Amino acid sequence: MKKIEVNGCDLVVTEGDVSLADCEAVVNAANSHLYMGSGVAGAIKSHGGQKIEEEAIRLGPIEIGEAVVTSGGNLKANYVIHGAAMGPDLVTDAEKIRSATIHSLMRAYEIGVKSVAIPAFGTGVGGFPVDECADIMLGEAIDYLTENGRPKEVRFVLYGDEAYRVFADKLQKLNAAD
């Protein structure tokens, strides 16, 4: 685990399954139609129940880059924030990831959670490079926390050692640059 402080908030990078995170909200790397198939969405549905997908679909479709909130079903988290980082074609790019990150953090702020767990957007089925994803998502989280001062903990939960190492190295370099 790597951690830095930003404006009184903890920005954390850890390895694991975001669907099992012990936070008030977890973020789903969603598509704009909010169907929950494989990857992060599949894990959230598997651990949290079909109810989460049913709630999400009733809220969609949404614009790519937007985010909506559902209950956490059977997850430890009370809420799932569905950040649409791709369309139904499962294709993403830097701007879609940037926008989905910002809107996911905005939803966490709006619902008043103190802690949120976020996966790497678009690096699974979307095929987006982990290195570039880490730059975008960590940069947006730092900017958001600097400006807003909450949620008090933003935890990037990365699936697999490679993604974890990339995000942890980027976080360390960002911290050293301050």
Domains and CATH numbers, the chain: 2-177 (3.40.220.10)
Q: Out of 1-5, 93-97, 123-127, 173-177, pick the least confident.
A: 173-177
pTM here?
0.97
pLDDT-derived band of residue 138, with 50, 70 and 90 as boundaries? very high
What pLDDT score was predicted for residue 178?
62
pLDDT digits (tens, 9 = 90+) for 60-76: 999 999 999 999 999 99
**Residue 105 confidence (pLDDT) above 70:** yes
pLDDT-derived band of residue 174, with 50, 70 and 90 as boundaries? confident
CA angle centred on 25, ends 7 and 61, rounded to 5°: 115
What pLDDT score was predicted for residue 168?
98
**Residue 109 confidence (pLDDT) above 70:** yes
What pLDDT score was predicted for residue 17?
97
CA angle centred on 85, ends 51 and 67, rounded to 5°: 55
pLDDT, mean of residues 4-28: 97
**Residue 175 confidence (pLDDT) above 90:** no
Question: Beta-strand (E) ranges in 74-121?
Answer: 79-86, 115-118
Tally of CB atoms within 10 A around 15: 17
- For residue 129, cis peptide bond before it (omega within 30 degrees of 0): no
pLDDT digits (tens, 9 = 90+) for 17-40: 999 999 999 999 999 999 998 899
* Closest C-alpha among 114, 112, 104 to residue 80: 104
